[in-house]
Amino acid sequence: MRTLLTGLSAAVLLQGALAQDVSRVAAEPAGLKPLASSVNGRVVAQPDGMLLRQWPGTYAEAAFQGDEVYFRVGAGDVSLRVSVDGEAAVPLVKPAAGLYRVANFKRGGAHLLRVAVASESQGGATGFGGFLIGATAQPAPLPRRSRQIEFIGDSHTVGYGNTSATRQCSQADVWATTDTTRGVAALVAAHYGADYQANAISGRGVVRNFDGYKADTLPEAYPFALFDKSRKADDAGWQPRVIAIALGTNDFSTPLRTGEPWATREQLRAAYEATYARFADALHRRHPAAYIVLWIAAGDGAEVRSEVERVAEQVRRSGNPRIGFVPVAGLSMSGCDWHPSVADDRQIADALIQHLDKQRDVWAAAAR
């Protein structure tokens, strides 16, 4: 959803001469006032004004005129990227709850501040408390993006360990090197000047999670704002013109275990195809104007590649011609645990962009 607000101690890792400085404020300055903002991603508002979020890729933006701006971080481990006017982002890793000041950016004119979540939060929700400005600053108009893209998937959509220099990673390494802001969703959305959601969970599948792990599959978790399923997602106002889905790697990447619901791979494939097709059909009914593209990072002959292609064809035969299939082969898979690297993410994004550019009327109802 795109939520309007009336108004994130770990180290702030500054890399070189970045254009802005982010620091925690011990005592709140007098006279701060709320700054209107937009939040993209599924959130649950709390009585104290804090927003809880858990799906990856959440980002908040505020526009202002002035030399400094503030934002609040709530509880929970999170890795943020803070940028002003599209300059190189400052990483803010596991920040303590509290108030943060952004300053030392280019002076003059209106500015756009973005605070984006880079990390995955399967272990629990994290909080964001909005933006504030002082008496010498003024609000400015927020950008109005008419295009919206939704990405649904697993670790390949999350950006699991995509910045890692090695495939061998501990769980801590995975968390630290995951960066959704440099992943497929962010790259494609930036190309089209679109807002985006990344509704993905690493390790989850359509009917079977990685190695038979017992937890909600992605379609089971999808309807909810948080992973505890305490509240349905409020997607009012969210009308994506493109829905890009990448699911199946976890369903098929490991052998079936004794006791799983499917005695054979044939039974697993049949369940996968039927469930995935129903999921895609439900998304089509909810967003009838959206073009759906099923993509998968897999080479020729891979079981999952054939299965995703079969699902796309089933959906097409059921009466929805606005569906595409994009396989992406030749990736280095040099991220953590043989996952796509940031270079691979760029290759996947380029393949999706090339495919979308060939489709007629994808953005017909969206102002250019």
- Which amino acid would we find at residue 63? A
φ, ψ dihedrals at 302, nearest 5°? -70, 140
User: Which residue's entry shows tokens 């399923």?
Assistant: 229
CA distance 357 to 368: 14
| Residue from 37, 155, 164, 334 carrying the catalytic annotation | 155
Angstrom CA distances, 20 to 60, 81, 283, 297, 312, stand at: 17, 12, 40, 36, 45
Q: Which amino acid is at 40?
A: N
Closest CA relative to residue 281, chosen from 218, 219, 237, 239:
219
Active site residue 155: yes
Single out the residue of 11, 9, 12, 127 nearest to residue 74, CA to CA.
127
CA 213 – CA 190 distance, rounded (Å):
34
3-class DSSP assignment, residue 55: coil
> CA neighbours within 13 Å on the CB side: how many for 313?
6
269, 307 Cβ separation under 8 angstroms: yes
Contact 119, 37 (CB under 8 A): no
| Cα gap 191→193, rounded to integer Å | 6
List active site positions.
Answer: 155
